[in-house]
Amino acid sequence: MSTPAPTATPLRQDYAAYTPTDYRIWRTLTQRQLAALKSAACAEYLECLQQLYPILSADHPPRFSDLNRTLTEAHGWSIEVVKGFLPVDEFFDLLSKRRFCSSTWLRNENQLDYLEEPDMFHDIFGHIPLYLNKDYANFAQKLGALGVKHAANEEKITQLQRLYWFTIEFGVMRQDSEVKVYGAGICSSTSETKHIYSDNAVVIKPFDLDAIMQQDFVIDKVQMLYFAIRDFSELFAAVDELATRWNSAP
């Protein structure tokens, strides 16, 4: 007689484990990024960030339980605690279920400007605020659902990863003729934020779904190419168009 495999215990945030050093690092990262984003971030990101105050602030690392209540009430999202990078199929599956994965560890004082693997500051400060925006939240869920549906198609998964990279991670938009940032890889990094406005070699193109799906990206250098949307409804329309194309393809 076989016995069922034990169910894995969900990972949780151990809030009591954060040290005074963690509090100091969170405060430093948050304060300097708030200053950098005041004139750089899109209005929607700043509005969502304000809605999350004081749950998300420089005063303390955020409690995931508090964030989850606000996210769930808004558009049904919640945070899934993970140890690190997930396989792409698991990542898209979580998105499709309106769950965004986040680590609970925080970088050390020698990693304030750069680290290879996303930590809690990137995952929470960079990503989470915009899940209070309806169009953005729906876009991310539908992107995940496409990833689940086409998980066996390597070419389509690669195209979805590119779309994710140039929007959710390194997206920008034009507001009142000015370039504003919303991608988490920018919103969580002072150097990335400054880079967009200070490097004359940076290229910012209008959002183009077909161009993005053919564009390779780099993960270990600052970005030199960005695609600017008009607003978040354009993202939802793009992923909707992609779903229609793929559904009608032979």
- Domain of 59, CATH number, reads 1.10.800.10
The predicted-structure confidence for 161-217, as pLDDT tens digits, reads as follows 999 999 999 999 999 999 999 999 999 999 999 999 998 999 999 999 999 999 999
Domain count, the chain: 1
**Per-residue pLDDT at 5:** 45
Predicted local distance difference test score (pLDDT) of residue 1: 42
Is residue 10 situated within a structural domain? no
Confidence at residue 3, expressed as pLDDT on a 0 to 100 scale: 47
Q: Can you tell me the distance from the alpha carbon of 96 to that of 85, in angstroms, rounded to the nearest whole number?
A: 17
pTM over 0.85: yes
Give the pLDDT of residue 85: 84
Q: What range does the domain containing 171 cover? A: 15-236
Q: Is residue 249 part of a domain?
A: no
Q: Is residue 6 part of a domain?
A: no
The reply to whether 193 falls in a domain is: yes
Intervals of the chain under pLDDT 50: 1-7
Quick one: CA dihedral 122, 98, 84, 209, positive or negative? negative
- pLDDT recorded at residue 250: 58
User: Do 166 and 182 form a contact (C-beta atoms < 8 A)?
Assistant: no
Is there a domain that residue 2 lies in? no
Residues 49-66 have pLDDT tens digits of 999 999 999 999 999 999
125, 135, 144, 183, 228 from 130: Cα distances, Å:
10, 9, 16, 9, 17
Asked whether residue 58 is domain-assigned, the answer is: yes
Q: Examine residue 246 and state whether it is found in any structural domain, yes or no.
A: no
Is residue 9, in this structure, part of any structural domain at all? no
Vertex 183 angle, CA 214 and 203, to 5° = 55
Locus of tokens 């484990």: 17
